[in-house]
Structure 1
Amino acid sequence: MEGKLVGLIERGEMCELVDSVNGWYKVRLRTGEEGYVNSEFSKVLSHDSIPKEAFESYFPLAEPRVQYGDLSFRVDGNNVFMARAYNSVPEDGDLWKSVYQGATIYYGKIEGNRLVFTRSLSRFDLTLDSLAPSELEEIEPYTAYYSPVERGFIFEGALFKAVDLDEDSNTVSVIEDTGVPHPLSARKGLCIYGNVESVTDSEGKTTRFDKVGNILEISKGEEYSLIYKYNDNRTEYSRSDWGSYTITYSDHKRSDMSKNESDMEGSVEYLFDEQDRIIERKNQVRMTYLTETYTYTGTNLLPDSRNSHDYDETGDYLTADRYEYLEVDKHGNWLKRKVVRTNKVTEYVDGGEDIVKTETEPERIETQTIKYFN
């Protein structure tokens, strides 16, 4: 805090992460300038582009401190038109009673996660389909940012995102047609980043996801196929092998809990850190939880290790995997890695001293094939 202030970054602005030091991120701006930002107010992202679904969604303004309005888009290659409607809100604050006051249409370019507008026009009767860039007036460059963490557009310091005005604050409702990935998805809970459609490991197991990041199917050739079916707002699902589950979210946590309180088989809890990386996953297996914990170096997206802990009436079982990544794709997902596994088994002995056995397996190479949504 005693350092010299060298500049400001707007909310939603993206910059390059150079280093991480004692709770601060060293960053490089697009201009080449470098400085430090507090990690408490920053997010490390796995990609720097805007998903096409973001332009197809209806984005009411989610922050009442700014005059209520909505956004719509028309995209042609790298060119983008954005219409922002303005509405007057009655004194009682009921947004459903707001009255349309006109709109401003902006024209600009898509640059990474930024929309840089250079032309605009304000009028009451404007539509996106009827305008050409030459009909708009030149303005000083005006920037909006897309935040994959907050799943919305940020400009003038405010957040525009798709929300249900009657939405339960603890249950996130996402429609598959919009396909905006959830920051605490089951897909991310499996250490998979970006808009991944399926992952197939070196043993032939394939996991398919929807665009939100929910699991649709886990299969292995003709051996087995586990199907997940969701309700319309993706807050509940059933599995073909066992029961029905409800999805809820709290601070850095996703819980998929069985509706059958007397039998919680198949329930899963995901715990994420401040960077939205999975640090613990608990699976209900029979009467116990299989607990997996992950460790990371600095701000790396991929874990250095995973410890898996299980137990039953006969003993305690701990598996420790250490990873070295040999090939990683542009989205930050690993394609090839080296694994060293150590198994520690504690056998319970009635009336005697427990027997502890530790064994390190030969080093092995794992691969996975990843398919992304277009």
Structure 2
Amino acid sequence: MIRHPLLAAVLALDLVGLLLLAAAGYAAIRALLDWNPASSDRAQLRREREAEYSSLLARGGFWGLALGGALFVLAVALALPGLVPGAMCGVGVMEAMGGAGQRALAVRGLALLALWVWRVLDGLNRRSPRGALSTASLRFLLVALAPAFLAVYDTILAVVRLDVHAPVSCCTALYDRLRTATPGVLGGTSNDTGVLFAWIVIGATALAVAVIFSLRPPKRLAWPSLALAATMGAWSWLSLIAVQRIFASYHYGVLSHHCPWCLFLPEHYLIGVWLWGALVVGVLESVALIAAGRSADMQPELREAAAERFRRAARHVAMAVLFFSLLAAAPAVVWRIRFGMWME
């Protein structure tokens, strides 16, 4: 394990966030025991107070994990490559972590996704005078604790396993995987034209539907929200492939340079922060669509509040799709205008 201030900040934020979430989970369990919204006795008031404590603590825990994750990505992309022999970007650092780094990012993403759903439910519950979603939000918080604990554990494991002595092959290993990947695997398809066509069609569909929903949500929110979220999921997956296989080379100005981590480097204007950040916002808000839609159908009294959250989520999805698309494809269009041809 190496000592680096960014890694120390990541671990500190993770541990603080984990402690807050653990305390929130304990308060949620105390609140759920014998919950009776029809009662107004002293015991029920105590349970409602515990539910409020749980909400406040969990919000702090969410931001601890979110900020810790952001710092972890920046450390991998910018600070740690200089310490690992042969590493030029985050690919080499991930290789030096022996797979633990990729698992830590994946599990943290799952944890933040679950906690984001809880935040949506908790926010809608605060709009209900009788707390119609109190038990649902508290139970979902308890479900979200498991991936949160695993995310912190995997992050600690990745930091401990980071080898700063053995040289790595960095982007060379990525190129080998891209050449030998089977069709359908991320970055492994050879049909770049098909990927680009699907990315444009599905992205345009998601953008159009999100704009319509942001202006006028449907009468029933559950199934439309699920359809738009599924469309966003497919488009997000295609976006990862399209950036690696097609758009990355135009950002670098070098043919066949497919590394997604190099987009974070200062020489490329930290474009990865904005590019992948927009994709994360789109995914989070597409999940918020589902949570708001289901809440409206389960609790009719929350219809107005859920519809408002639904419109806001749809608006954020549309902005994320548009921003990501322009940022990813703009260098390719500029290249075409300047040189009159595409990179082939």
Which interval holds the TM-score relative to the shorter structure?
under 0.3
Q: What TM-score does the superposition give when structure 2 sets the normalisation length?
A: 0.21
Higher helix share goes to which structure?
A: 2
Q: Which has the larger radius of gyration?
A: 1
Higher strand share goes to which structure?
A: 1
Bigger RCO (CA 8 Å, 6+ sep): 2
